Amino acid sequence: MAVRARWVDGDQNSPWLVFIPVALIVLITVVDVHSPTSVHLGPLLVIAPALAPSFAGPKITAAVGGLAVAAQVFIAALHGGLTTSNHLAQIAALSVLSAMIVLFTVVRERHRRQLTRAQSVAEAAQRALLRPLPDRIGVLQIASQYVAAEEETQIGGDLYTATRADHTTRLLIGDVRGKGLAAVGEAALLLSAFRLTASRQPSLPDLAAVLDAHVQRYLTDFSVTDDESGEHFITALFLDLPDDRPVAHLTNCGHPPPLLLRRGQAPQPVDTDAAPPLGVHPVPADGHAQSTVPFDVGDTLLLYTDGVIEARNASGTFYPLADRMARWAHCPPATLVRHVCRDLLAHTGGRLGDDAALIAIQRTSHLSVASRVV
């Protein structure tokens, strides 16, 4: 899930609000006409065109400004005529100010359209790059959500994907250093390489070594164009969840360990031996350890990126993921992820300092070798 803020053209937004500046123009005109000639309320007419851009586009704002100028001309005609210097100055000043307000509204609408186009492109890129995981893969029930720290781009450096390999579900969750569009290239590289090679590697350590080599090569190729390429890396967690065995195999490359939820027990982080993140320095296959933990029917693994556990509230307190998880341990994955995401945004006041991704995986049954369907 990505937070999205779509601009709506002002001329289409609550058209009844246009009656507010029109009513102000009528009110000021009536009061000024019935006031002594020594009282000049005409300058207050500028309030109407100044108020219009808050809910209207250039056309309506120009119409309100024209109506205000016409009202000023009407007042001048009844109070001494149009030839007096005071009235001429008021009409000229109101005309200039109205024109400037319309110009500002035109520029604002142009920026809104540009932002809308950028959001559409980013949303399309996110759909192509970070496809939602299916609700079910094999014997697993899965739910995922993604929240970008930069709402304007809708896309960042957190990534996840899954594939099937020999009656096993193989998953990846990762986090590129940084956020926003600068991290998209490395996220796209890792996702593409995973999808191409995941089913060809016999073990998770082998897969981690191959993907580490891909990231190393990418960073070397683009080191000339990026002064910070030496500081780039990707934390990653790889999982193998076989259909016919109640276990989970994990290989960790500098990523936060997942939480294991089991009925009747408090959520516990899975103990994994973490190798360096991808791209830091070359690590051979035997440099990546594989951990195996029990993962039986009804158990749930919650995978997440550091944008979740490093999210702070107004007082600087980190989000206590494990503590909050205890209250939703009985929930199915979709409900669990939805609760955590809402609670996380409530903790931070609605805005994250870094991209955040969540994946909940629950084993629903065993598939024996004899009952496999190819």
Instruction: Give per-residue pLDDT as tens, 321-340.
Output: 999 988 888 899 999 999 99
pLDDT confidence of residue 291: 95
Among 1-10, 19-28, 114-123, 282-291, the least confident range: 1-10
Beta bridge partners of 125: none
pLDDT in tens, 204-256: 999 999 999 999 888 777 655 555 555 678 999 999 999 989 999 999 999 99
- Strand runs (DSSP E) across the chain, as ranges? 136-137, 140-147, 158-164, 168-176, 234-242, 247-253, 259-261, 268-269, 274-275, 291-294, 300-304, 356-363
pLDDT in tens, 20-76: 889 999 998 899 888 887 777 878 888 899 988 888 888 998 999 999 999 888 888
Listed in sequence order, the residues at least 6 apart from 48 whose beta carbon sits closer than 8 Å to its beta carbon are: 21, 22, 24, 25, 64, 65, 67, 68
Q: What percent of the chain has pLDDT over 70?
A: 83
Q: What is the pTM of this model?
A: 0.69
pLDDT confidence of residue 340: 94
Report the C-alpha gap between 47 and 299 in whole angstroms: 63
